[in-house]
Amino acid sequence: MNNTTQKAILVVSFGTSYHETREKTIDQIETDIQNSYPERRIYRAWTSKMILKKLKTRDGIHIDNVKEAMETMRRDGITDIIVQPTHVINGIENDLMKEDVLSCAEHFARITFGAPLLTTEQDSLEVIQALTDEWGGLPQDEALVFMGHGTPHYANAIYAALDYTFKDLGYKNIFMGTVEAYPSMKSLLKQVENFHPTRVHLAPFMIVAGDHAQNDLSGEEEDSWKCQFEKAGYAVTCHLKGLGEYEGIRRIFLHHIENASAEK
């Protein structure tokens, strides 16, 4: 086997059971990576056991988890791997993913890790730039509320920091909340009320517009964000567009691979 075929990039995602959003997000990220690194083979692994099981039982589709992908690469003769997560933060999923990769490290000559989306202060500024580029036409009297996932992990602090940075950069009408942690919906309702918007736009701050976007954000249940904002008296528009659909976001992952490949 020649040198070029011994190098690979393992793209690790949480995963989604919604094929339509997967095509626009995870698939697109992997396509961009393959186009930028034609000399490396691209492999996929997903970390959500629940999603992997659902795809297997519902669709008969098998997607490797991290350890299975490492074994596939070992069998294929890969010796040099860059592992690039599409995770948003350095949270629990990312920690577990690294453990799984490193448990197989003895079979490979070189393993380097690319960083999740939000790792440095520069990442935060680039993410904000990517989002505001996309939402540049939003009227000043309308609010844009992003729904992050949230985690008990200390990395959750990044969501509040992002909200603060939006305001600091002059985007007074952009708000950041989470489904499962802080800033919560309770905090968001207070902040948005102080802004008095004529309309509230809701968008997921997650790589895919999957279950949380379909149900927690835009669902018809009374505890969905859409229904809660409507109950508070706002006109609401939902935008089911995952972060993976934003070209600027995909570019950040490419920068992280570039940094990982430069590591000695």
CA distance 252 to 263: 17
Tell me the sheet residues that pair with 199.
142
Question: How many Cα neighbours within 13 Å face the side chain of 2?
Answer: 3
Q: Is 239 a catalytic residue?
A: no
* 199-219 residues labelled b (16+ CB within 10 A) or e (exposed): ebbbbbbbbbbbbbbbebbbb
CA distance 158 to 129: 16
CA distances from 171 to 131, 136, 140, 157, 201 (A): 11, 11, 9, 19, 14
Question: How many Cα neighbours within 13 Å face the side chain of 56?
Answer: 11
CA distance 46 to 49: 8
Pick the catalytic residue from 19, 62, 107, 149.
149
Asked whether the CA dihedral 13, 14, 19, 22 is positive or negative, the reply is negative
How does DSSP assign 25-43, residue by residue?
THHHHHHHHHHH-TTSEEE
Q: Letter for the amino acid at 59?
A: D
Active site (catalytic) residues: 149
